[in-house]
Structure 1
Amino acid sequence: MSAALLTPSRQVAVREDWLALTREEILDPALPIIDPHHHLWDHPGERYFLDDLLRDTASGHDIRATIFVQCGAMYRAEGLEEERPLGETEFVTGAAAQSATGQYGPTRACAGIIGMVDLTLGERAGALLDAHRAIAGARFRGVRNRTAWHPSPEIRSNLTTPPPGPLEHPGFIEGARQLAQRGLTLDIWSYHTQLPRVLEVARALPDLTIILDHVGGPLGTGPFAGRRAEVFPVWRQSVRAIAALPNTVVKLGGLAMQVNGFDFHLQDRPPGSEALAEAWRPYIETCIEAFGPGRCMFESNFPVDKGMCSYAVLWNAFKRLAAGASAEERTALFSGTATRTYGLPSSLSTSPAK
């Protein structure tokens, strides 16, 4: 793969001119959507701020609100190491306040905020959770740690390479228990090779809502390149085991990352929604069958997934994948599960579109 197509974090580089080559009519434009997973950041050669997000959400789908998820943005430059992620919550709270004025369009960006607290701190994590909530108020809905890890140097999806933990760290469970005590949630981004450990964490914390990001990370690069048929049943078995626990939820998306092994970004033209739906159907349908629509939510994972497809095409693909669902099931998949899981005001998805 050409190095020019990858960012320093090994994400597929966004090429707006290339994305513009494929345009589609918006399917079911009146369907309310809560986008439960996106980032904002300013990294070398990778800038995605509120205005960039709102240009994408204004592409024709009815995006009522979004949820920001931890990505290491705007940490404080000074102070205790464990307190520096408070800077990210401060930054995103500001973006949410801008959006809430209504001056930048109808979408309520960052209506929920998933921040970063090092859960390996155990009980000490509680005070940090309270500090994040003091900044963001009711918008602060949970945390995510850097957990996706594989020993192969070819497999990387974080700006920095985390250690093999923290899921295995002895203090992680106690730190995560602080979330449950405060009615907060835990997002976990792991590769399919780590799903047995995710299962152990979910079993140990039955009172904590655990959200499995990006359909559980089926790998398709490095030592797993060209082995999709072998990986799929292993991934599926783990996903079904996690879904058997009622405190788990899954995000449907994130499959346009380089680590998943799809190569749409290498084509002359970006994919249309039919091609995306066909490629991703086995993973999406497996998750919906295992968890049920009431514990599944479609996600954009932008701007990461933007390296392979546009926002408009991505949500068209999701709508194609949900074409056989009932009206009630579609509501759950596109807004209801996200609203309930993250404790968002129901008015965000039920009020008339502006």
Structure 2
Amino acid sequence: MNTVAGARAFIDTHVHFWDLKHPELTYGWLAPDAIHPILGNIDPIKSVRFDSTALWAEARFTGLAGAVHVQAAVGTPDPVVETAWLSELAATSPVPFLIVASQDLTATDVEAQLDRHRAYPLVRGIRDFGTGDFLVDPAFDAGVGLLAEREMMLDLDCAWQDMGKARELAGRHEDVVIVLEHIGYPRDTTDPDYFAGWREGISTLAQAPNVYCKISGLGMNRAGWTIEGLRPWVEHCIEQFGPGRCLFGTNWPVDRLWASYGDYVDAFETLIAGYSADEQQAMLIDNARAVYRWPAG
């Protein structure tokens, strides 16, 4: 896709689309009376529908060349319904996107479900909002083991306290590409002790060569954020994973609660300005192309 003259092309590796009028899809977190368990009141983003046309309207002057949709429907009995809807949406989308689908890796019919997802050409991997101590659950472990043979990756929601377990999971499945979401989704961005624990967790997880770090969700729990406030978090991720294993994402439209789309793009470009041109290119677009196996052309 062509981008605006002067804007650097990038792939946004974390966006969410939804349609609350869809007869089969469930979005409990977007219900009128729902309060997000971590973010609190998210009413300002609760539109009836947010799709790739809406994303393009906000991002078309920023250099956006493609996106990765990550599971938005939660609790839908058949998770493949979301994949089917997204595939239909992609056919007329103004911006190309790929799909990280929703899937319970502990489901008794997980192999059949994965094969149904994989039948849709845009699917590249899955996200499973595991519950409890899922990273050491044998059923979850077995589900992760099914991904590599299907050329599917894992988008991982993991707090820093569990990154040691995630490192062990990655070691047991070295043939599976794992992407840490939202730099570990920090719950507290002001406590020095929390930051120290998070740093240690990131350093531990980065030891696994098959794990990548998605520098996304930078606005969450950071009302009034500044570039300098983000710097120590972003710099530590890049130092530990290296420019070759870092990706950029916005978590759109959730992070609209705290800034505009262009603000996040500008902030990330400012934070990586000290790296070489090739390293910047890798973090903005090349790594995303490789991890999510972007189609040629």
**Alignment TM class, shorter chain as reference:** 0.7 to 0.9
Tell me the distance in 2 between the aligned counterparts of 1:173 and 1:69.
Answer: 21
Which of 28, 36, 52 is residue 13 of structure 2 equivalent to? 36
Residue aligning to 1:64 = 65
Residue identity matched to 2:280: R
Tell me how large the CA RMSD over aligned residues is. Answer: 2.0
Structure 1 contact 254–301 (Cα < 8 Å) conserved = yes
Residue aligning to 2:158 = 190
Residue aligning to 1:126 = 111
What do the CA deviations read for 1:283-335 (whole angstroms, capped 9, x no partner)? 11111111111110111111111100100111000110011111100110100
Structure 2 contact 163–204 (Cα < 8 Å) conserved = no
Aligned length: 269
Tell me the distance in 1 between the aligned counterparts of 2:75 and 2:57.
Answer: 22
Structure 1 contact 339–346 (Cα < 8 Å) conserved = no
Residue aligning to 1:289 = 239
Residue 340 (structure 1) shift? 0.2
Tell me the distance in 2 between the aligned counterparts of 1:280 and 1:226.
Answer: 11
Task: Kindly report which structure 2 residues correspond to 1:1-354, keeping only aligned pairs within 5 A, or say none.
Answer: 29-41=6-18, 42=20, 43-44=30-31, 46-47=46-47, 48-58=50-60, 60-72=61-73, 75=76, 81=77, 84-99=78-93, 104=94, 107-108=95-96, 110=97, 112-121=98-107, 124-134=109-119, 136-137=120-121, 139-147=122-130, 163-220=131-188, 226-227=190-191, 229-258=192-221, 262-264=222-224, 275=226, 277-347=227-297
Structure 2 contact 11–65 (Cα < 8 Å) conserved = yes
Tell me the distance in 1 between the aligned counterparts of 2:210 and 2:70.
Answer: 20
Structure 2 contact 10–285 (Cα < 8 Å) conserved = yes
Tell me the distance in 2 between the aligned counterparts of 1:226 and 1:210.
Answer: 28
Scaled by the length of structure 1, the TM-score of the pair is 0.72
Structure 1 contact 113–141 (Cα < 8 Å) conserved = yes
What do the CA deviations read for 1:152-185 (whole angstroms, capped 9, x no partner)? xxxxxxxxxxx32432322011101111111110
What do the CA deviations read for 1:175-209 (whole angstroms, capped 9, x no partner)? 01111111110000122222222122112111110
Quick one: percent identity of the two aligned structures?
Answer: 32
Structure 1 contact 38–300 (Cα < 8 Å) conserved = yes
Structure 1 contact 146–166 (Cα < 8 Å) conserved = no
Residue identity matched to 1:171: A
Tell me the distance in 2 between the aligned counterparts of 1:226 and 1:141.
Answer: 35
Residue identity matched to 2:170: A
Which structure is higher in RCO with an 8 Å CA cutoff and minimum separation 6? 1
- Give the gaps of 5 or more residues in structure 1: 1-26, 76-80, 148-162, 265-270, 348-354
- Give the gaps of 5 or more residues in structure 2: 21-29, 33-45
Query: Structure 1 residues 144 and 173 mapped into 2: Cα distance closer, same or farther (>3 Å)?
Result: same
Structure 2 contact 13–68 (Cα < 8 Å) conserved = yes
Scaled by the length of structure 2, the TM-score of the pair is 0.85
Tell me the distance in 2 between the aligned counterparts of 1:241 and 1:346.
Answer: 34
